[in-house]
Amino acid sequence: MKPVGAIYVASNRCRFTVWAPEKKSITLHIVQPAERTIPMQAEAFGYFSVDVEDVQPGTRYFFRPDGQPDTPDPTSNYQPEGVHGPSAVVDHGAYAWQDANWRGLPFKDLVLYELHVGTFTEEGTFDAIIPRLDDLLDVGINAIELMPVAQFPGNRNWGYDGVYPYAVQNSYGGPEGLKRLVDACHQRGMAVFLDVVYNHLGPEGNYFSRFGPYFTSQYCTPWGDALNFDGDWSDGVREFFAGNARYWFDTYHVDGLRFDAIHTVFDSGAVPFWELVNREVRQLEQQLGRTLHMTAESDLNSPRVIRPAEVGGFGFSAQWLDDFHHSLYVLLDEKGRERYGDFGRMEQLTKAYTDGFVHSGEYVKFRKRRYGASSAGIPGDRFIAFNQNHDQVGNRVKGERLSVLVDFDRLKVAAAALMVSPYVPLLFMGEEYGEDAPFYYFVSHSEEELIKAVQEGRKEEFKAFQWDVEPPDPQAEETFRGSRLHWNKRTQGKYRLLLEWNKTLIQLRRTHPALQSVNKTTVRAYPLAQAGFVLVRQQEDGLRQLICLFNLSDESLVYHMPPVNERWHKTLDSTEEKWQPHPTSTKQAVTESVQGGETVSLPPFSVLLYSGLTA
């Protein structure tokens, strides 16, 4: 795989390489510190290269394809002046890494935490995250997942409008800032995941077509023409993005990547792009001697995503499990069925626990067709489950988090439902203490026509949901500022209580033997009518069991404990006084231990966990 971009060698020497297969000539235009123009030499397979002396780190440059205007490097490692400005040479060897002994963490042991760099702190930088890492560790979070940090227009964006996949956002702190953050995480025993986007490139600052056929009109995505992964000259596009995955692991020492909407990457070739990129990363894993995780967002409900390439799969380590969120959310918030009309039955939630995909070949009204395939039997650590993420919150017109949509008892139930699942859990920033500030969609474009298109597009998108308010202006700075976390809340009142609840759940997940198994054949779940459900988690050898009783109704429920044990001991009880923001003596006391075969009464919207030994 050919290195592209500005590769700083040493001693102020740099090799510049760009892929432009249908161009006759490329000129390198160095603009700072001293202006120079240098013709580049054509090479095989559409590449142009030139070795240049007297080039220091920080040197700013453009390319001129076939005499066109100055254009940033598609493989730029840094855009200090934004998406329209010159690219900058980066000496990646200059950073003194302190993580030589870091070998990563097993995927099944992770508690992921998705965060947006710009709104996680007031400063909105990589460096500002570092002082908060110990707070996350204290809760039990051991992996952060950064929303995309590839260079986007302006300084306010979710990151999915990025246009330079190799360049780290300048307003976040650039390449050095990201390295410091990753290093700080590894020194604390935390993993770092990065969200990357290979299904489209943002419109503003997108000059890729000046160089080559990066796009194809053969397929269409929600964002326009698809990237060219299987047409004429697609080898260069495939190498560009496969090399990008290797780049984040090798150059920035990240532990995992999350690939956005892989179902909108189209490739009919004999070796699909996702198989190619996973194969490249597995080879790199052997070279680096540490575990590299590849996770996907997929709308296919297809086990192929997480099956090995040897048996016809794409080879991802794990994928996001949207069906878990949908199944649980609609049972917690009655208005949820307005968004997820194909969900709402308790048996769908229990299927999410035992199988994974809820829609596995049934007719789905939303899609107007049969949809999905079964994932029964696939280990739990091949899925990432969540109650919230950037999409579930940010794509609501008011940007409401779950903490705004449901009451405190339901929040506790939701947290417990996630943490006792056989899946790798993911929290959205602030979820651990019930942050109630919104998380909106925001941008900071500079082109008036594009700004208007985004504003109108958001309004049109929300029409189908018949919202009674106007969506906030994505371009307005106050929309961005209103999405910031309020860190002071986590030490106060109900927020502190929910923080402790999540901390207790994560600790239980790590210490209870029955919650260590990712073998879904040891998981049993069944409804209690349409009012609640029972989840049974069992230790791999069958010795220890954890019975999780959930009441998702406004009425008390009665459950008969299995007779297989002489005694079941209460492990966790959401109704205890210490978990109430406003304790009251009218709360029903729950027995600390019960005999096998005896009944347990579950108060409304509660969760009770009982441990026992099998006979």
- The radius of gyration computed from the CA coordinates of the chain, to the nearest angstrom, equals 26
The number of helix segments (H) and strand segments (E) in the chain equals 14, 30
pLDDT band of residue 588 (cuts 50, 70, 90) is: low
One fold for 5-94 and 515-613: yes
Q: Which residue has the higher pLDDT, 347 or 614?
A: 347
d(CA 399, CA 415): 20
d(CA 468, CA 163): 34
Strand partners, 47: 19
Instruction: Specify the pLDDT at position 614.
Output: 64
Break the chain into its structural domains and give their ranges: 5-94, 110-198+243-506, 515-613
CB 295 within 8 A of CB 258: yes
CB 347 within 8 A of CB 360: no
Out of 3.40.50.10420, 3.60.15.10, 3.20.20.80, 3.90.1310.10, select the CATH number for domain 110-198+243-506: 3.20.20.80
Q: What residue ranges in 197-252 does DSSP mark as E strands?
A: 215-221, 224-227
Active site residue 260: yes
d(CA 182, CA 347): 41
Which residue among 183, 280, 297, 409 is the active-site one? 297
Superfamily of domain covering 5-94: Immunoglobulins (2.60.40.10)
CB 56 within 8 A of CB 12: yes
Q: Which two tokens stand for residue 271?
A: 């070796």
> How long is the chain?
615
Instruction: Specify the pLDDT at position 593.
Output: 83
State the amino acid at position 207 in one-letter form. Answer: Y
pLDDT tens-digit series, residues 488-524: 999 999 999 999 999 999 999 999 999 999 999 999 9
Q: How many CA atoms lie within 13 A of 393 on its CB side?
A: 28
Whole-structure pTM value: 0.96
- Residues with Cβ < 8 Å from 186, sequence gap 6 or more? 98, 99, 102, 192, 253
pLDDT tens-digit series, residues 199-216: 999 999 999 999 999 999
For the residues 391-404, what does the mean pLDDT come to?
Answer: 95
Out of 2.30.130.10, 2.60.40.1180, 2.120.10.10, 1.10.10.10, select the CATH number for domain 515-613: 2.60.40.1180
Q: How far is the CA of 416 from the CAs of 432, 599, 606, in angstroms?
A: 12, 22, 10
CB 255 within 8 A of CB 193: yes
Which residue among 114, 145, 230, 260 is the active-site one? 260
Active site residue 225: no
pLDDT tens-digit series, residues 430-461: 999 999 999 999 999 999 999 999 988 888 77
Which DSSP helix (H) or strand (E) runs through 459?
A: helix 448-463
Q: Which two tokens stand for residue 529?
A: 């009518």
Burial of 561-572, coded b for 16+ CB within 10 Å and e otherwise, reads bbeebeebebbb
d(CA 110, CA 579): 25
d(CA 149, CA 51): 29
Q: How many CB atoms lie within 10 A of CB 587?
A: 13
Cis peptide before 65 (omega within 30 of 0): no
Mean pLDDT taken over the chain: 94
pLDDT band of residue 586 (cuts 50, 70, 90) is: low
State the amino acid at position 81 in one-letter form. Answer: E
pLDDT band of residue 615 (cuts 50, 70, 90) is: low
Instruction: Specify the pLDDT at position 478.
Output: 97
Specify binding-site residues for substrate.
258-263, 322-326, 390-395
For the residues 530-540, what does the mean pLDDT come to?
Answer: 94
Specify binding-site residues.
258-263, 322-326, 390-395
Instruction: Specify the pLDDT at position 562.
Output: 82
